[in-house]
């Protein structure tokens, strides 16, 4: 069989009937040098061309895993569902078992999107809430309950995603890990003193100015069901302690998530390719946009401002 240098092929070995994956030899010396692809605690930071998607999907495919994926659409945010789900069907864990859990106050507004054979969708009705901050923060408690009830089931991994987003490129098994954080697309090149962490010591989300690794987005995070249960439980508890003291962290659940991930280091980080600012905005290090926020008029879609 003739193979070009970069071609990746399945081939049937002569000696037995097993399929073997042939792929380009990994290099010890040549790789991306324009971005950092590992944290100081040796967790990978995932960027295009730091991994071989065919190889990594092939490896995980043999494990027969299920990936739960949660999304919330309350109030006017149901308008984002169609694009979110249709684009996910095109790019998100194609060929893997995915179970979407969609939480909404209007099940009748969920669009009828054709799902691939391995993907399924469960709609769960949740009460409406008056403040967008409460909807956003309230996700932690709902996710805590979901992950707790899923602990004994056969779900392996879970991702929790914002609905005002759309997929533009592949999101596959390279994102899987024990505890996975996504680097926020606006602050990846900021000094940590400038991160918008919660700076008031009265809040449970407080991070002193001389601490911090990265600024993580709350619009996408994941990991094993067990780890996401611990994360969401902790954030929900910390939010409740704040609420009892009439304090609300500057960026709501995102502030609590950042506190959690500072002291519970993620085992894998996803680069801003995995949640970009907007499809029309380009930066030289971000060579591929896999998931991006879509434009939204906050004053129009949110219930309060
Ligand atoms: N959300 C919702 N309805 C609302 C406000 C928020 O369903 O009225 C959910 C939705 O999933 C959204 C997420 O909470 O993606 C986070 O809110 P938002 O996207 O407004 O926060 P931002 O990304 O702008 O910080
Ligand atoms: Mn959002």
Of 103, 133, 136, the one to substitute when testing ligand 1's pocket (max ligand atoms within 8 A of C-beta) is 136
DSSP-derived secondary structure letter, 260 = H
83, with CB counted inside 10 A (0-12, 13-18, 19+), is: middle
pLDDT at residue 298 above 70?
yes
| pLDDT (tens digit per residue) in 27-41 | 999 999 999 999 999
* Ligand 1 lined by 135 (C-beta under 6 Å): yes
Q: Work out the mean pLDDT of the chain and round it to a whole number.
A: 94
Grade residue 13 by pLDDT with cuts at 50, 70 and 90. Answer: very low
Output the CA 168–ligand 1 centroid distance in Å: 20
Residue range 5-34: average pLDDT?
A: 74
Grade residue 7 by pLDDT with cuts at 50, 70 and 90. Answer: very low
Is 254 one of the annotated active-site residues of the chain?
yes
Q: Catalytic one among 144, 253, 254, 273? A: 254
pLDDT at residue 153 above 60?
yes
pLDDT at residue 88 above 70?
yes
292 touches 165 (CB < 8 A): yes
Q: What is the pTM of this model?
A: 0.94
257 touches 272 (CB < 8 A): no
* Matching residue, tokens 């805590």: 144
Of 78, 83, 162, 166, the one to substitute when testing ligand 1's pocket (max ligand atoms within 8 A of C-beta) is 162
CA pseudo-torsion sign 231, 145, 72, 132: negative
Q: What is the 3-state secondary structure (H, E, C) of 127-196?
A: CCCCCHHHHHHHHHHHHHHHHHHHCCCCCCEEEEECCCEEECCCECHHHCCCEEEEECCCCCCCCHHHCC
pLDDT at residue 11 above 80?
no
pLDDT at residue 5 above 80?
no
Residues near ligand 2 ion, CB 5 Å cutoff: 162, 164, 219
Residue range 121-136: average pLDDT?
A: 96
pLDDT value of residue 304: 86
Per the DSSP assignment, residues forming a β-bridge with 101 are 70, 122
If we measure between CA atoms, which residue out of 305, 290, 228 comes closest to residue 88?
A: 290
DSSP-derived secondary structure letter, 235 = H
Distances (CA, A) of 120 to 63, 87, 173: 19, 15, 18
Judged by its nearest atom, the ligand closest to the C-alpha of residue 161 is 1
| pLDDT (tens digit per residue) in 170-227 | 999 999 999 999 999 999 999 999 999 999 999 999 999 999 999 999 999 999 999 9
pLDDT value of residue 72: 98
């Amino acid at each position: 069989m003739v193979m070009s240098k970069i071609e990746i092929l399945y081939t049937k070995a002569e000696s037995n009937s097993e399929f073997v994956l042939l792929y380009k030899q990994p290099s010890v010396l040549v790789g991306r040098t324009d971005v950092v692809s590992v944290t100081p605690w040796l967790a990978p930071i995932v960027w295009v061309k730091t991994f071989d998607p065919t190889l990594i999907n092939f490896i995980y495919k043999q494990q027969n895993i299920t990936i739960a994926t949660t999304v919330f659409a309350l109030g006017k945010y149901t308008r984002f569902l169609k694009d979110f789900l249709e684009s996910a069907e095109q790019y998100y864990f194609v060929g893997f078992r995915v179970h979407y859990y969609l939480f909404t106050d209007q099940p009748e507004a969920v669009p009828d999107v054709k799902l691939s054979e391995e993907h399924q969708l469960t709609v769960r009705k949740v009460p409406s809430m008056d403040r967008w901050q409460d909807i956003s923060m309230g996700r932690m408690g709902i996710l805590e309950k979901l992950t707790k009830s899923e602990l004994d089931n056969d779900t392996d991994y879970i991702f929790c995603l914002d609905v005002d987003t759309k997929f533009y490129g592949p999101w596959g098994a390279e994102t899987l890990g024990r505890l996975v954080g996504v680097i926020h697309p606006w602050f990846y090149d900021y000094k940590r003193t400038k991160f918008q962490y919660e700076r008031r010591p009265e809040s449970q989300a407080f991070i002193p100015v001389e601490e911090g690794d990265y600024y993580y987005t709350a619009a996408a995070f994941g990991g094993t069901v067990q780890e996401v249960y611990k994360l969401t439980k902790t954030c929900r508890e910390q939010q409740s302690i704040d609420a009892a003291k009439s304090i609300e962290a500057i960026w709501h659940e995102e502030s609590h998530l950042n506190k959690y991930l500072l002291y519970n280091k993620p085992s894998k980080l996803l680069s801003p390719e995995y949640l970009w600012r907007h499809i029309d905005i380009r930066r030289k290090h971000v060579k591929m946009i896999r998931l991006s926020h879509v434009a939204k008029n906050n004053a129009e879609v949110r219930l309060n401002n």
